[in-house]
Structure 1
Amino acid sequence: MSPASSPDKDRVLRSAEILEGWGLNVDFGEHAFCKWAYLAGTDGERLADLNAAFRDPDVRAIFTTRGGKGSYRIADQVDFAAARRDPKLVIGFSDITALHLSLLKNCNQIGIHGAFSFGPKEESVSPYTSESLRRALMTTEDIVIDARPEEPTSGLTTSGAAKGRLIGGNLDLVATSAGWALPDLRGAILLLEAVNLYRGQVDRQMTMLRKAGHLDGLAGVAIGQFTDFEFDRPYSVIDILREHLAELGVPVLGGLPLGHGDSPASVFIGAVAELDARAGTLAIGRNDT
């Protein structure tokens, strides 16, 4: 499905070959490769594809071809009754965060924050990214994500541990969803990642979320990859995030390989997770999904 922007067809077909190699049968939404301005078809076309998949008993998982822009335009119009009758995983990240949050809020449906990731010059998906998604989708193994010291957001790690439902994703879409698609975050671990934003945008979004009370009662914060930022400049995005996160007074684990950076992992949105800042791990037990 393409509920947001139009994808690169060749890359999608390469991803389909990987899924078929796992033994899956792959089909495409009618408008998966359509283009309408910066979207993959009109709102009605993209929504029709998505709801058709939710209503089809033969469909067991919905892979989104890319993020970009546009899923937030239709995230409140999903056939939630169909999603409740026949739960199936939605796989994607970035703009797809709006769908994850709306499905979690309206029908308690868990999704997978992750996808195949082709960089601008990459012809294949990293083995780590591919295996992480396969394990999340097709095994009963627990998921343990190790923080990477080389990720700039690792500098945000504090101390302590927390347990709660992992909710969030792309910061831009978490902020966009506030007030209509964002679930109650009390007792949750908030996941945040971002790409190609100005420092002021990050500051505004964090300010809104915090001062509007959306971050009240958090159990902890998991920070993924903040990509395409200038980290070596004075008052960087790391400094901005540290200021806002300090106001929350909860354990923070940074440096997680979740987002738009190199070799991202996959993780369940809406499942109960355990964050251990000292060990540098974010873990989800299958009994909690």
Structure 2
Amino acid sequence: MVENCEAVLDSKSAPLHPRVLRPGDAVRLVSPASTPDEQAVEQAVAVLERSGLRVELGRHVFDRYGYLAGRDEDRLGDLNEALRDSTVRAIIATRGGKGAYRIADGLDLAALRADPKPLIGFSEITILHLAMWGGAGVPGIHGACWSAAQFGERAEQSFLRALLTTEAVTIRCEPHEPTSTLTTGGRAEGILLGGNLDMIATAAGWTLPGLQGAILLIEDVEKGLGHVDRNLTRLLKSGALAGVAGVAVGQFTGFASSKGVTVVELLRERLAHLAVPILGGLPFGHGDNPVAVPVGTQAVLDASGGTLTVAAAMR
């Protein structure tokens, strides 16, 4: 029986870490949101097989149903099938896009708790990461953009390190990233939760776990500033961000200014209400060659030193 995916855990819960992957382990590629490009999937398979992993494809990976990778029941079926298969040691989303929010409350959380395995993806996949943490306490990996134009050496190496080792990850603020100017001072510790801002706001009230004591991770791409404003205001006014210990800000890519206001200025004004350490300029999100980072694990945000150190998702 599939449980309702309303969040029952919070940022103070102890993570239920999956086992680190070993050569010969099976990974399953699924498409919980939009249909991937076949060339991108071929690239993903090549990267994984070079690392000694066995790659399997979900039955509906290339389905098309409008802007979705098939019907809701088929996309969810592929994901739950992977959760229930004891031979599958990690689940990798082929892309984001749209539609993961339609199936986030249908995850087989009992299977996930009984056999923890990470979900790897970002953007739209954030809402599934939040549901898996809130319902089962299982960490994931935010990253792995399979677009050939974006998936460079740094992206590949950080993805494989997050999947195949138990090493902590340290990400440094990059001054050329526009959000670097948001950096304040101070230090915070807590479970790192979040990812795509739009999906965090979408999850509020159902799959968003309690964030008290957490470090909030945010990034986004190509939306109107009013949309970003509404998302942050909703999270602030609803109390969803109450007690957040710090904020790690990644790439906000493709945002045009509106009437003289930039997305960085908007973020600064909204995030100031939290009065917590903020570290911007982190190279994860929708930009070129993004770093993969574990989510749902313990992290230390050192805004004064310009670093975010995150414990491994795997054990």
- TM-score for both structures, normalised by structure 2: 0.88
Give 1:14 shift.
1.4
- Note if 1:242 corresponds to 2:271: no
Alignment of 1:206-245 (within 5 A): 206-230=232-256, 234-245=260-271
Which residue matches 1:98? Answer: 127
* 8 A Cα contact 1:38 1:69, kept in partner: yes
The answer as to 2:55 corresponding to 1:26 is: yes
CA contact (8 A) 2:40 2:146 kept: no
The answer to whether the 8 A contact 1:186-1:219 is kept is yes
| Structure 2 unaligned residues grouped into runs of 5+ | 1-29
Q: Which amino acid aligns with 1:239?
A: E
Task: State which of 195, 198, 222 in structure 2 corresponds to 1:172.
Answer: 198
Partners of 2:162 and 2:293 within 8 A in 1: yes
Select 2:46's aligned residue among 10, 14, 17: 17
> What is the Cα deviation at residue 140 of structure 1?
2.0
- State how 1:53-202 maps to structure 2 within 5 Å: 53-118=82-147, 122=149, 125-202=151-228
> 1:284 Cα shift?
1.5
Give the Cα–Cα distance (whole angstroms) in 1 for the partners of residues 97 and 33 of structure 2: 6
More moved, 138-147 vs 61-70: 138-147
**1:233 shift after superposition:** 6.6
Which secondary structure state, in structure 2, belongs to the residue aligned with residue 154 of structure 1?
helix
**Structure 1 position 286, deviation (Å):** 4.0
The one-character-per-residue Cα deviations of 1:66-119 (angstroms, maximum 9, x if unpaired) are 000011100110111101110001000000001000010001110000113425
CA displacement 1:220-247 (0-9 Å, x = unmatched) = 0000000001259721111111111111
Aligned partner of residue 76 in structure 1, secondary structure: helix
CA contact (8 A) 1:117 1:263 kept: no
Residue identity matched to 1:8: D
- Taking the aligned partners of 2:267 and 2:304, their CA distance within structure 1 comes to 19
1:176 corresponds to which letter in structure 2? Answer: T
Equivalent residue in structure 1 for 2:279, among 214, 230, 253: 253
Structure 1: give runs of 5+ residues left out of the alignment.
none
Q: Distance in 1 between matches of 2:287 and 2:311?
A: 25
- Paired with 2:313 and 2:68, the residues of 1 have a C-alpha distance of 38
Deviations 1:117-150 (A, max 9, x none): 425xx3x831000000011110122111111111
What's the TM-score once normalised by structure 1's chain length? 0.96
Distance 2:312 2:41 in 1: 29
Provide the C-alpha distance between the structure 1 equivalents of 2:205 and 2:49, rounded to a whole number of angstroms.
39
8 Å contact from structure 1 (residues 164, 273) kept in 2: yes
Runs of 4+ in 1 over 6 A off after TM superposition: none
Contact 1:126 1:263 in 2 (8 A): yes
Q: 1:224 touches 1:256 (CA, 8 Å); kept in 2?
A: yes
Separation in 2 of the partners of 1:182 and 1:195? 20
Q: Say which SS state the counterpart of residue 159 (structure 1) adopts.
A: coil
Query: Partner residue of 1:6?
Result: 35
Amino acid at match of 2:214: A
CA distance in 2, matches of 1:248, 1:286: 27
Distance 1:157 1:117 in 2: 29
Partner Cα distance (2:279, 2:287) in 1: 17
User: Secondary structure of 2:54's partner?
Assistant: coil
Identity over aligned pairs, percent: 53
Distance 1:288 1:217, change over 3 A: farther
State the alpha-carbon separation in 2 of the partners of residues 77 and 285 from structure 1: 28
Q: 1:191 touches 1:223 (CA, 8 Å); kept in 2?
A: yes
Q: Is the 8 A contact 2:162 2:314 kept in 1?
A: no
What is the distance in 2 between the residues matched to 1:173 and 1:265? 19
User: Take 2:232 and 2:252, find their aligned partners in 1: how far apart are those partners?
Assistant: 14
The answer to whether the 8 Å contact 1:152/1:231 transfers is no
Pick 1 or 2: higher relative contact order, CA cutoff 8 A, min separation 6: 2
C-alpha separation between the residues in 1 aligned to 2:261 and 2:45? 42
Pick the aligned partner of 1:277 from 280, 286, 303.
303
| Contact residue 166 and residue 313 of structure 2 kept, 8 A | no
Q: Is the 8 A contact 1:172 1:194 kept in 2?
A: yes
The number of residues matched between the two structures is 286
